[in-house]
Structure 1
Amino acid sequence: MKFKFDSFVVGLIIAIIIAYIYPDLALVEGTFSLDHITTIGVSLIFFFYGLKLSFGEIKTGLSNWKLHVLVHTSTFILFPLLVLIFYPFIKTEVQHDFWMSFFFLAALPSTVSSSVVMVSIARGNMPAAIFNSSISGIMGVLITPMWMGLFLTINNDFDFGHVYLSLFLEIILPVVLGICLQPILGKWAHKYSVYLSKMDKLTILLIVYTSFADSFLEHIFDAVNVWYFVAVFTGVIVLFFVVYLIIWYWSRRIFRFSVADEITAIFCGSKKSLTHGSVFAKIIFGHTATGFGLVFFPLMIFHAFQILVASVIAQRYAARNNID
């Protein structure tokens, strides 16, 4: 079994290294500031997403309601509750920031492209995967800020009106515009989807650079030691496998799904979107006291880890299906 390391993960590491060596690029203001460039890039990401959205495949996947309930319950309820149980044990500001970064990760929607790719490799239920991953991102625009608002409003750091307006302008409006222009530009978007995907990743890398550059300039990471990073890695691994095993158990023992539906439930329900996370973090934490880089760190580790593990699992499912 061959495994190819994801080049985007390498790009994330390089973006952090550049942010550490040359953080001053994030201070540039004006029309060509990174903040303006990333805002435009984010809007384009979701505009092209609207152009490529397939309503036919979404409609095909609508009927399997038990699978949809499991996926979205895992994404928006199971994940946050698993992190929420540790909230009473917070004693210090560092512990609070650590917990908040994991809660933010847990409140995010599922990823779109990689979930569908993994389901395809493992030979799962593709229409259901496309339906759930597409709907998850839209649901996240409403649900993620609600989860975060429960705790950020305590410190008067959260403005629902500002957050929802920003999310509407940067995500919902471009998606709607893309859907409206789909009859005209839809074929073009699919034809050049590889290049559009590269632009998506470049935008995320710029957001990662900016967030970590700001954190390095403000010396946010000086407040933590090596054990903080060990705890992040450990927490990410434990969280992923706990969710994975619960979804696997529910799929096989409670709902008794077919193998194809089990595959879709596992890959769509256990993953988190770095694309949405980068946008949400920029909007939700952009004006708070919480270190942007610290918030981002568990999400980046989770993204890399979920690609690594999901690739191995997908190939194992595919090999088993070939035998069967």
Structure 2
Amino acid sequence: MRLLERMRKEWFMIGIVLAIAGAKLEPSVGVNGGHYFRVLPGLGCWCSDRCSLCWAVCRPLKPEITVSYIAVATIFFNSGLSLKTEELTSALVHIKLHLFIQIFTLAFFPATIWLFLQLLSITPINEWLLKGLQTVGCMPPPVSSAVILTKAVGGNEAAAIFNSAFGSFLGIIITPLLLLLFLGSSSSVPFTSIFSQLFMTVVVPLIIGQIVRRYIKDWLERKKPPFGAISSSVLLMIIYTTFCDTFSNPNIDLDKFSLILILFIIFSIQLSFMVLTFLFSTRNNSGFTPADTVAIIFCSTHKSLTLGIPMLKIVFAGHEHLSLISVPLLIYHPVQILLGSVLVPTIKSWMVSRQKGVKLTRPTV
């Protein structure tokens, strides 16, 4: 029972593994260009390649349409539908906190990674994995994990919600600019095409989702649809087709040495930035409460997989090394959840002790 419960909670992580394994076993199914599913034996096959082991109704998956447009638009329509904008108003006035998180996330983080990669470029680590590290630095904060962990600790949840949502909105504009600034020569898509596709598949569905929410708000509050599970399921489809492109390309080779080093580097980056944001936000003249510090630690160091993978799919559309570029972000996501979860008791203990200390030192009237 415990194993089943654990699997239920970690179904998305298991789904990522299965998606990549499925792409490895049958990459032709989800590769760009309209490859085909196979049909049941005896029903015939209309595939151009004539299937020998048929198992499903023959039809094109066409990820260049179903994934690049429909799947991405579905994720952001879902986000617009689920985002409770009324919960953000209470946190709106805390300008200093918001500036700290957004500047750290979308300016300091990518710039520091760029400087670090100048040193790593002389190592034998796969160059496309290093480029993937840079894309991680350019991503906005997530809407889910940072908020969940901030709430688990008892930190400033309203600030975490605001900055996660606001960071996602900023990311729609700033992240592609940062990707083109640091990795512009790697993109095979014209600048105007990137933003027109982002607008149609990200901004428009997000706005439509918010508009629809206004009319069915009561129903949503009553039924509580599984928004997170829906977005995660669609995201697994995007991950699957991304790796189908990789495994169908015989020229791509990923060595285990590079992968292990990238995992270690990602863990080190996250831990270092969490310590750095903690030190900055707990200075005597910082003006941040212990609850604010908790929100800062998680929102400043976490990166969005939900926004990141679709955006990479758009910016690097057709790039033969897209999946390798995506690998660091796929690693970063579970690491940030694992590391954050492990540190929750420690951070919570610190926050409670600091809050007690503030109450004891507060003058009585």
Q: TM-score, normalised by structure 2?
A: 0.81
Instruction: State whether residues 51 and 185 of structure 1, in contact with CA within 8 Å, keep that contact through their aligned partners in structure 2.
Output: no
Q: Does 1:40 align with 2:61?
A: no
Give, as a single letter, the amino acid of the residue that structure 1 aligns with 2:104: S
CA distance in 1: counterparts of 2:76 and 2:139, whole angstroms: 16
CA distance in 2: counterparts of 1:321 and 1:156, whole angstroms: 44
Choose which of 197, 201, 215 in structure 2 pairs with 1:170.
201
Which residue pairs with 1:302 in the alignment? 332
Give the drift of 1:34: 3.6
Which residue pairs with 1:113 in the alignment? 144
Moved more, 306-315 or 36-45: 36-45
Give, as a single letter, the amino acid of the residue that structure 2 aligns with 1:272: K
Which residue pairs with 1:23 in the alignment? 27
Q: Does 1:126 align with 2:157?
A: yes
Give, as a single letter, the amino acid of the residue that structure 2 aligns with 1:258: T
Give the drift of 1:321: 5.5
Give, as a single letter, the amino acid of the residue that structure 1 aligns with 2:62: S
Instruction: State whether residues 74 and 243 of structure 1, in contact with CA within 8 Å, keep that contact through their aligned partners in structure 2.
Output: no
Matches within 5 A, 1:10-159: 10-27=14-31, 28-29=34-35, 32-38=61-67, 39-89=69-119, 90=121, 95-154=126-185, 157-159=188-190
Unmatched 5+ stretches in structure 2: 36-58, 357-365
Moved more, 197-206 or 155-164: 155-164
Give the drift of 1:256: 4.5
Moved more, 201-210 or 74-83: 74-83
User: Which protein has the larger Cα radius of gyration, Structure 1 or Structure 2?
Assistant: 2
Which residue pairs with 2:56 in the alignment? none
Q: Does 1:267 align with 2:298?
A: yes
CA distance in 1: counterparts of 2:220 and 2:71, whole angstroms: 16
Give, as a single letter, the amino acid of the residue that structure 1 aligns with 2:304: S
CA distance in 2: counterparts of 1:315 and 1:188, whole angstroms: 36
Which residue pairs with 2:269 in the alignment? 239
CA distance in 1: counterparts of 2:117 and 2:189, whole angstroms: 19
Post-superposition CA distance 1:213-235 (Å, at most 9, x none): 1111113542x322111121011
Which residue pairs with 2:48 in the alignment? none
3-state SS of paired residue (2:30): helix
Give, as a single letter, the amino acid of the residue that structure 2 aligns with 1:61: A
Which is helix-richer, 1 or 2?
1
Give the drift of 1:100: 1.1
Query: Quick one: structure 1 residues 213 and 160, their matched pair in 2 at CA, closer, same or farther if it must change by over 3 Å?
Result: same
Q: Does 1:210 align with 2:241?
A: yes
CA distance in 1: counterparts of 2:127 and 2:338, whole angstroms: 29
CA distance in 2: counterparts of 1:160 and 1:92, whole angstroms: 31
Q: TM-score, normalised by structure 1?
A: 0.90
Give the drift of 1:96: 3.5
3-state SS of paired residue (1:181): helix
Paired residues, what number?
A: 320
Query: Quick one: structure 1 residues 193 and 220, their matched pair in 2 at CA, closer, same or farther if it must change by over 3 Å?
Result: farther
Give, as a single letter, the amino acid of the residue that structure 2 aligns with 1:301: I
Give the drift of 1:322: 6.3
Query: Quick one: structure 1 residues 93 and 25, their matched pair in 2 at CA, closer, same or farther if it must change by over 3 Å?
Result: farther
Give the drift of 1:88: 3.8
RMSD of equivalent CA atoms: 2.4
Post-superposition CA distance 1:56-83 (Å, at most 9, x none): 2211101111211111112111211121
Instruction: State whether residues 247 and 269 of structure 1, in contact with CA within 8 Å, keep that contact through their aligned partners in structure 2.
Output: yes
Give the drift of 1:191: 4.3
Instruction: State whether residues 20 and 216 of structure 1, in contact with CA within 8 Å, keep that contact through their aligned partners in structure 2.
Output: yes
CA distance in 2: counterparts of 1:240 and 1:184, whole angstroms: 40
